[in-house]
């Protein structure tokens, strides 16, 4: 709202200036307007990075439109159908396959080849990979996101552990010990809400499961690998180490503060939230750690999340928009954006800055980001992820056995993928 | 058939009159046809195809699938959940809303109440307020820790309720809010109905010694029957189309406990772009509303016949 008012005010005042100057000069130079859609907090704050860009490129005017995340997907698809997409956009990296399928995205390979600043090796390889489809890049990572373990140091210490669990086995042992601490019968070790698909999918990926099989044509959730991960997590519900359902914990910060649970798998935005919302006396009692892995020798991988910047094929100002992408990918801008929004930089050079190296909670994220893998790169993925969540809930509530839940999940996923199979058939 | 010249002339005249009538109706009929019947027909055809995101990229990827969408619906647990939620909302929320609006209408029609037009305006105000603004305010009222409602519960010594976060309470919370938002509209219709009841009926009843309750039961209710049928059909049609309240307040959660049919249709259509599937949901909903309206009209006819 404020930015809107500002830009209006600026426009009005520049009009006045223009009228004043009209006597001396005939006309302003023509500006190229590029339209840039950004979501949520990023859409609100990216404006603050622009003054320097406008100083360097006075011939370009950037029009930013903020879109709430909850409506972003609908809006983008509708804009595609109505042929009114902007020049460039922030795109959640799991959405890239979908918009690539619609042939809406510009292939960035030649742009990257010509660029002096954007190189694939500047980025975390797992994150870069999410933007690559059939060995061509369609997006440039803007900020990164992954999931890892947030835990209460003091509670783990009481249970006899001076470090976070590093393997599944240790993870489960820690949980059992926490549950058997005095006064913990009504409490839990781990918060594993069934309205988040992340933990269920990432533990599956840790086992090496590809989640889907036969060229992403069928679900592979009842395959041995994914099933072992799913059963491992279900054990936490069964042994009352994690609360079933989502209603017992309505406020995770409150739950973490009173030790209702001691571990929670979540993302980087919660560093800021935990600092803000946990009471002062607990501030030195929580920590972050990379995900435990299934075995000692395998690092526990996690999800390659985040947002990328994309160019739309139909844009007639691609060269100008690309300049903005290059600008936003500079280490200084990435750092500045981190300071404003808390979004983790995608460019690794930015991670050398003291504002990140001095943050003890961030270290685990850097380690984790070296071990991230993308989810299947097909447009149906989000629908499938919702189904994973649905059946994880059914199994955690004991409405089905894990085997039944996974078989039903595969059936539903095969149904979702039916169209994809038909399209891939040679005709 | 009478084929005298006079009859033929009359026939011609009727024909030309009819043409004139259509001519005057055209400005209304053409937009209705273009913007309502054609899209509805297109949606009906769409419901027999598998139009999805792939089809959006290339029209070659549309297939006619016959009744597959409808069959798939019948085995989709999410659809049945949405169906249960919608019926919950219609069957619990509808009668409650009508009772509430009738009660306020009776109060406002009573001779004992001063400043009637003021109260009428106040009770009608929520109807003209934007739902999104209302939802923002109600989210505060429902807040588990700082909400006014839980404060009131605490006053009565009851434990606080997480209104929008608890699957058992989310739907009642939505119902409560939408009754508050909408009952003013029905109230106005009921007031009009009440005012059209002849006063002498009450006078006669009074002379016969009928008390207030007997008067209400034997005069007000039967005389209001047409109004009540109208209000309940309109309310039912509106209630089956529950969308904005859960969309703004809960997004269908928690655990899909406020997922309505229209919200499911919206999610399928515009989030996942499964337009064929969501068109099928739309026609199932259309069928249900049609059946409901016919049933209510039939019941009313029967009652009138008695």
Min Cα–Cα distance to chain B from A238, Å: 20
Mean pLDDT of chain B: 90
pLDDT tens digits for A80-90?
Answer: 989 999 999 99
Looking at 3.40.640.10, 1.10.10.60, 3.30.420.480, 3.40.190.10, the CATH number of the domain A31-145+305-359 comes to 3.40.190.10
Task: Read off the pLDDT of each residue in B70-96 and give the average, rounded to a whole number.
Answer: 94
Count other C-beta atoms under 10 Å from residue A177's C-beta: 17
Asked if pLDDT for residue A14 goes beyond 70, the answer is: no
Count other C-beta atoms under 10 Å from residue A2's C-beta: 8
Q: What gap in Å lies between CA A251 and CA B261, rounded to an integer?
A: 29
Q: What gap in Å lies between CA A246 and CA B257, rounded to an integer?
A: 12
Residues in chain A closer than 8 A to B160 (CB atoms): none
Task: Read off the pLDDT of each residue in A134-151 and give the average, rounded to a whole number.
Answer: 96
pLDDT tens digits for A282-326?
Answer: 999 999 999 999 987 767 999 999 999 999 999 999 999 999 999
Query: Who's near A94: CB < 8 A, 6+ residues apart?
Result: A130, A305, A375, A381, A382
Mean pLDDT of chain A: 90
Run of H or E residues at A90: strand A88-92
Task: Read off the pLDDT of each residue in A358-380 and give the average, rounded to a whole number.
Answer: 93
Residues in chain A closer than 8 A to B72 (CB atoms): 415
Least confident of A20-34, A114-128, A169-183, A285-299: A20-34
For residue B224, what pLDDT is reported?
92
Min Cα–Cα distance to chain B from A214, Å: 20
Asked if pLDDT for residue A194 goes beyond 60, the answer is: yes
Residues in chain B closer than 8 A to A70 (CB atoms): 251
Residue B255 forms contact with A (CB below 8 Å): yes
Query: A31-145+305-359 and A148-302+376-424: same fold?
Result: yes
Min Cα–Cα distance to chain B from A193, Å: 11
Cα angle B108, B98, B128 (rounded to 5 degrees) comes to 70
- Look up residue B65 and give its two tokens: 């699938």
Task: Read off the pLDDT of each residue in A12-31 and give the average, rounded to a whole number.
Answer: 52
For residue A245, what pLDDT is reported?
65
Q: What gap in Å lies between CA A309 and CA A90, rounded to an integer?
A: 5
Closest CB to A247 among B57, B167, B273: B167
Residue B151 forms contact with A (CB below 8 Å): no
State which residue of chain B sits closest to A380, comparing Cα positions: B272
Residues in chain B closer than 8 A to A313 (CB atoms): none
Does residue A274 contact residue A152 with C-beta atoms inside 8 Å? no
For residue B81, what pLDDT is reported?
94
Q: Which of B88, B85, B109 is nearest to B212 (CA)?
A: B109
Residue B243 forms contact with A (CB below 8 Å): no
Asked if pLDDT for residue B119 goes beyond 80, the answer is: yes
Min Cα–Cα distance to chain A from B144, Å: 9
- Look up residue B75 and give its two tokens: 């085995």
Residue B63 forms contact with A (CB below 8 Å): yes
Give the CA dihedral B182, B188, B193, B195, nearest 10 degrees: 150
Run of H or E residues at B266: helix B261-266
Which of the four pLDDT bands, split at 50, 70 and 90, describes residue A28? low
Q: Do B54 and A101 touch (CB under 8 A)?
A: yes
Which of the four pLDDT bands, split at 50, 70 and 90, describes residue A27? very low
A40 by DSSP, 3-state: which? helix
Question: A-side interface with B, Cβ within 8 Å?
Answer: 70, 73-74, 77-78, 80-81, 98, 101-103, 195, 245-247, 250-251, 379, 382-383, 390, 393, 415, 419-420, 422-423
* C-alpha neighbours within 13 Å on the C-beta side of residue B161: 19
Closest CB to A101 among B57, B165, B272: B57
Residues in chain B closer than 8 A to A250 (CB atoms): 144, 162, 165
Residue B132 forms contact with A (CB below 8 Å): no
Q: Do A98 and B53 touch (CB under 8 A)?
A: yes
Q: Is the peptide bond before B121 cis (omega within 30 degrees of 0)?
A: no
Does residue B237 contact residue B210 with C-beta atoms inside 8 Å? no
Domains of chain B are: 5-61 (no CATH), 69-305 (1.10.3720.10)
Closest CB to A102 among B56, B144, B251: B56
Least confident of A98-107, A281-290, A391-400, A401-410: A391-400
Residue keyed to tokens 């001519």:
B23
Which of the four pLDDT bands, split at 50, 70 and 90, describes residue A426? confident
Min Cα–Cα distance to chain A from B242, Å: 19
Does residue A192 contact residue A199 with C-beta atoms inside 8 Å? yes
Helix axes of A402-416 and A224-238: crossing angle, nearest 10 degrees: 130
| Predicted-assembly ipTM surpassing the 0.85 threshold | no
Q: Do A250 and B53 touch (CB under 8 A)?
A: no
Min Cα–Cα distance to chain B from A370, Å: 32
Q: Do B56 and A80 touch (CB under 8 A)?
A: yes
For residue B146, what pLDDT is reported?
78
Q: What gap in Å lies between CA A286 and CA A156, rounded to an integer?
A: 10
Buried b (16+ CB within 10 A) or exposed e, B48-71: bbbbbbbbbbeeebbbebeebbbe
For residue B263, what pLDDT is reported?
96
For residue A274, what pLDDT is reported?
93
Q: Do A245 and B165 touch (CB under 8 A)?
A: no
For residue B112, what pLDDT is reported?
81
Where does B93-143 have alpha helices with state H?
94-109, 116-128, 131-141
**Residue A60 vs residues A39, A89, A331: alpha-carbon distances, Å:** 22, 16, 21
Q: What gap in Å lies between CA B17 and CA B20, rounded to an integer?
A: 5
User: How would CATH label the architecture of A148-302+376-424?
Assistant: 3-Layer(aba) Sandwich (3.40)
Min Cα–Cα distance to chain A from B38, Å: 19
For residue A3, what pLDDT is reported?
44
* C-alpha neighbours within 13 Å on the C-beta side of residue A139: 31
Q: What gap in Å lies between CA A57 and CA A54, rounded to an integer?
A: 5
Identify the DSSP state of A297.
S
State which residue of chain A sits closest to B68, comparing Cα positions: A415
Q: Do B162 and A250 touch (CB under 8 A)?
A: yes
Buried b (16+ CB within 10 A) or exposed e, A219-258: bbbbbebbbbbbebbbebbeeebbbbbbbebeebeebbbe
Asked if pLDDT for residue A270 goes beyond 50, the answer is: yes
Q: Do A77 and B253 touch (CB under 8 A)?
A: no
For residue A1, what pLDDT is reported?
39
Asked if pLDDT for residue B56 goes beyond 90, the answer is: no
Asked if pLDDT for residue B176 goes beyond 60, the answer is: yes
Closest CB to A250 among B72, B144, B273: B144
Query: Who's near A332: CB < 8 A, 6+ residues apart?
Result: A350
Q: Do B251 and A70 touch (CB under 8 A)?
A: yes
Task: Read off the pLDDT of each residue in B133-152 and give the average, rounded to a whole number.
Answer: 86
Show me where the domains of chain A are located.
31-145+305-359, 148-302+376-424
Q: Is B202 exposed, middle or buried (0-12, 13-18, 19+ CB in 10 A)?
A: middle
Q: Do A379 and B53 touch (CB under 8 A)?
A: yes
Q: What gap in Å lies between CA B189 and CA B106, rounded to an integer?
A: 12
Mutate to test the interface with B, among A77, A99, A247 (most CBs of B within 10 A): A247
Mutate to test the interface with A, among B272, B274, B276, B278 (most CBs of A within 10 A): B272
Count other C-beta atoms under 10 Å from residue A402's C-beta: 21
Closest CB to B272 among A70, A383, A393: A383
Q: Which of B81, B64, B44 is nearest to B284 (CA)?
A: B44
Q: What gap in Å lies between CA B198 and CA B87, rounded to an integer?
A: 37
Residue B172 forms contact with A (CB below 8 Å): no
- Look up residue A361 and give its two tokens: 């909670």
For a pLDDT cut of 90, what percent of chain A falls above it? 76
pLDDT tens digits for A228-254?
Answer: 999 999 999 999 999 886 656 767 898
Residues in chain A closer than 8 A to B272 (CB atoms): 382-383
Which of the four pLDDT bands, split at 50, 70 and 90, describes residue A153? very high
pLDDT tens digits for B19-28?
Answer: 999 999 999 9
Residue B72 forms contact with A (CB below 8 Å): yes
Put residue B260 in one of left, alpha, beta given phi > 0 → left and psi -120 to 50 → alpha: beta
Q: What gap in Å lies between CA B69 and CA B278, rounded to an integer?
A: 9
Residues in chain B closer than 8 A to A78 (CB atoms): 270
Count other C-beta atoms under 10 Å from residue B246's C-beta: 25
DSSP β-ladder status, A344-345 and A136-137: unpaired
pTM of the model: 0.80
């Amino acid at each position: 709202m404020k930015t809107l008012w500002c830009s209006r005010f600026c426009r009005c005042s520049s009009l006045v200036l223009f009228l004043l100057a009209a006597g001396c000069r005939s006309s302003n130079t023509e500006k190229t307007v590029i339209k840039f859609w950004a979501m949520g907090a990023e859409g609100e704050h990216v404006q603050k990075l622009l003054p320097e860009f406008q100083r360097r490129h006075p011939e370009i005017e950037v029009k930013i439109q903020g879109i709430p995340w909850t409506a972003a997907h609908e809006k983008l698809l509708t804009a595609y159908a109505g042929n009114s997409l902007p020049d460039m956009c922030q795109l959640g990296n799991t959405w890239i396959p979908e918009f690539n399928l619609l042939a809406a995205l510009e292939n960035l390979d030649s742009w990257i080849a010509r660029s002096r600043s954007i190189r694939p090796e500047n980025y975390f390889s797992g994150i870069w990979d999410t933007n690559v489809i059939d060995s061509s890049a369609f997006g440039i990572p803007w900020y990164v996101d992954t999931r890892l373990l947030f835990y209460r140091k003091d509670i783990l210490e009481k249970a006899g552990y001076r470090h976070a669990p590093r393997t599944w086995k240790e993870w489960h042992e820690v949980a059992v010990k926490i549950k058997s601490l005095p006064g913990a019968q009504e409490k839990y070790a781990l918060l594993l809400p069934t309205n988040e698909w992340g933990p269920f999918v990432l533990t599956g990926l840790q086992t090496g499961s590809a989640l889907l099989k036969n060229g992403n044509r069928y679900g592979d959730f009842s395959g041995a690998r994914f099933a072992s991960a799913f059963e491992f997590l279900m054990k936490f519900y069964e042994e009352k180490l994690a609360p079933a359902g989502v209603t017992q914990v309505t406020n995770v910060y409150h739950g973490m503060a009173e030790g209702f649970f001691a571990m929670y798998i979540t993302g980087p935005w919660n560093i800021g939230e935990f600092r803000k919302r946990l009471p002062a006396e607990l501030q030195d009692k929580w920590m972050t750690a990379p995900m435990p892995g299934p075995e000692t020798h395998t690092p526990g991988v996690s999800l390659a999340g985040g947002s990328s910047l994309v160019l739309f094929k139909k844009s007639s100002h691609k060269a100008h928009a690309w300049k903005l992408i290059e600008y936003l990918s500079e280490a200084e801008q990435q750092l500045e954006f981190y300071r404003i929004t808390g979004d983790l930089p995608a460019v690794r050079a930015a991670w050398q800055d003291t504002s990140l190296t001095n943050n003890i909670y961030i270290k685990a994220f850097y380690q984790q980001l070296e071990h991230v893998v993308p989810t299947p790169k097909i447009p149906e993925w989000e629908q499938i992820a919702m189904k994973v969540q649905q059946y994880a809930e059914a199994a955690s509530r004991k409405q089905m056995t894990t085997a039944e839940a996974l078989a039903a999940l595969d059936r539903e996923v095969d149904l979702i993928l039916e169209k994809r199979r038909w399209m891939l058939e040679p005709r | 058939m009478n084929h005298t010249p006079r009859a033929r002339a009359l026939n011609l005249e009727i024909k030309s009159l009819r043409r004139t009538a259509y001519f005057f109706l055209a400005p209304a009929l053409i937009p209705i046809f273009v913007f309502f019947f054609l899209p509805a027909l297109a949606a009906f055809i769409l419901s027999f195809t598998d139009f999805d995101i792939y089809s959006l990229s290339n029209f070659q990827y549309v297939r006619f699938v016959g009744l597959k969408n409808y069959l798939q619906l019948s085995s989709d647990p999410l659809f049945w959940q949405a169906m249960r939620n919608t019926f919950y909302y219609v069957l619990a929320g509808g009668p409650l809303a009508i009772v509430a609006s009738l009660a306020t209408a009776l109060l406002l029609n009573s001779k004992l109440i001063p400043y009637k037009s003021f109260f009428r305006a106040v009770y009608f105000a929520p109807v003209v307020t934007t739902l999104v603004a209302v939802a923002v305010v109600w989210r505060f009222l429902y807040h588990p820790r700082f909400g006014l409602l839980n404060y009131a519960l605490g006053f009565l010594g009851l434990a606080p309720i997480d209104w929008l976060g608890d699957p058992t309470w989310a739907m009642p919370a939505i119902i409560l809010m939408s009754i508050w938002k909408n009952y003013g509209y029905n109230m106005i219709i009921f007031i009009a109905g009440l005012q059209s009841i002849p006063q002498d009926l009450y006078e006669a009843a009074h002379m016969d010694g009928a008390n207030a309750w007997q008067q209400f039961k034997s005069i007000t209710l039967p005389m209001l029957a047409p109004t009540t049928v109208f209000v309940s059909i309109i309310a039912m049609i509106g209630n089956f189309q529950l969308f904005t309240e859960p969309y703004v307040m809960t997004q269908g959660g928690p655990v899909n406990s406020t997922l309505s049919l229209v919200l499911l249709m919206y999610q399928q259509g515009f989030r996942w772009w499964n337009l064929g599937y969501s068109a099928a949901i739309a026609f199932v909903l259309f069928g249900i509303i049609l059946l409901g309206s016919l049933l209510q009209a039939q019941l009313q006819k029967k009652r009138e016949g008695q």
